Amino acid sequence: MAPTYDVIVLGLGGMGSAAAHHLAARGARVLGLEKFGPVHHRGSSHGGSRITRQSYFEDPAYVPLLLRSYELYEKLERDTGREIATLCGGVMLGRPDSRTVRGSLESARQWDLPHEMLEPEEIRRRFPTLTPAADEVALYEARAGLVRPEHTVAAHLQLAGQDGAELHFEEPVTRWEELPGGAGVRVHTPENTYTAGQLVICPGAWAPQLLTDLGVPFTIERQVMYWFAPDGGTAPFVPDRHPIYIWEDDRGVQIYGFPSIDGPDGGAKVAFFRKGTVCTPETIERTVHDHEVRAMADQLAPRIPALPGRFLKAATCMYSNTPDEHFVITRHPAHPETVTVACGFSGHGFKFVPVVGEIVADLALTGATAHPIELFDPRRPAAAAA
């Protein structure tokens, strides 16, 4: 008997919703399975805003994917009428030899990206909310900004449904297996058993549980996002006056933040980058403690003095880290005929959501992609490091 679906997508968060959209748009019969409700707040695709930028300090190899992702975000807005991206400009701040500044400049130069290097006086003149130290500089990128994760997921789910994808929520997958001879896959849930020619796994923080045979030692980290009401109100922090930023101190500690995008009572969001605690999706502590709020306020005070005026709220999410902090996007080495995986986005993946959906659709339907994804092979030595 022929499989019921062409592709089953396991997980409908950021990457899974994009994959479902791109697969359905190409005419595939798609079933999407999600253990929670649509656009939920239990994983990583929430929090109101995520930074997007092109001068990428992590590695210049990401830049071609970012350029395509920008195109796809614009198309997503046109196709759905949803507000998704706000390109308010961004500054990457720190000492000239910091990873944040040095790496951003390397990518900008290698790919001839428009940018400016700003000295402290110019930073303060353009952005009076920021108070860099005398030995700190910034790379300014006008095309940097933010994307809204909940709007993005909702838009991809909307388009997937319009193109015929069958989307099941509150239906967790209990197990799956490859059919004999690589003829497809069988996926089990408490409600039913489904068959398909291909399986796409976008597990987010559940990667260690669902992809134990991938050979990558994923680490799940609890991260905290904070919102503060600035002293004097949010007017100086609106997107046409205040940029997104990533700011690295002399110890290598990075914070990142956003303009105020949710009105005068919404405050401005800020967080530490890679200063989380190891957890699992089942053991993550959702309560944010006073000492955590104080640590964030203390880091902000000398840099953005008006921002830690009044704490408003906090929320948790999870990073799914690989040892080298690069992604895993591939045909599954143990199931190369039937299974595609996209995971391990290590806290910097959301800006790539649309292009990852496109890549996953390529891999699931044709077995290959024209996009450069060699960096994301799970068999790279750095991905398997203990």
* Binding site as annotated, residues: 6-36
- Give one DSSP letter per residue of 276-304, joined into a string: -EE--TTT---PPPHHHHHHHHHHHTTTS
**Residues 6 or more apart in contact with residue 51 via CB below 8 angstroms:** 90, 144, 145, 146, 244, 246, 256, 258, 351
Instruction: Please answer whether residues 170 and 32 qualify as being in contact, where contact means their C-beta atoms are separated by less than 8 angstroms.
Output: no
Which residues are part of a known binding site for FAD? 6-36
Residue 58, classified by CB atoms within 10 Å of its CB into exposed (0-12), middle (13-18) or buried (19+), is middle
Phi-psi region of 204 (alpha: psi -120 to 50; beta: other; left: phi over 0): left
Q: Rg for the chain (alpha carbons), in Å?
A: 21
Burial label, 363 (beta-carbon count in 10 A; 0-12, 13-18, 19+)? buried
- Read off the tokens for 31: 């079933």
Give the residue among 363, 32, 360, 343 at the shortest CA–CA distance from 196.
32
**Structure-token pair, residue 24:** 């359905």
**Strand, coil or helix: 212:** helix
Q: Show the tokens assigned to 89.
A: 């400009």
Q: How many CA atoms lie less than 13 Å away from 293 in the CB half-sphere?
A: 16
> What's the CA gap between 90 and 103, in Å, rounded?
15
For residue 282, with 0-12 CB atoms within 10 Å meaning exposed, 13-18 middle and 19 or more buried, which class applies? exposed
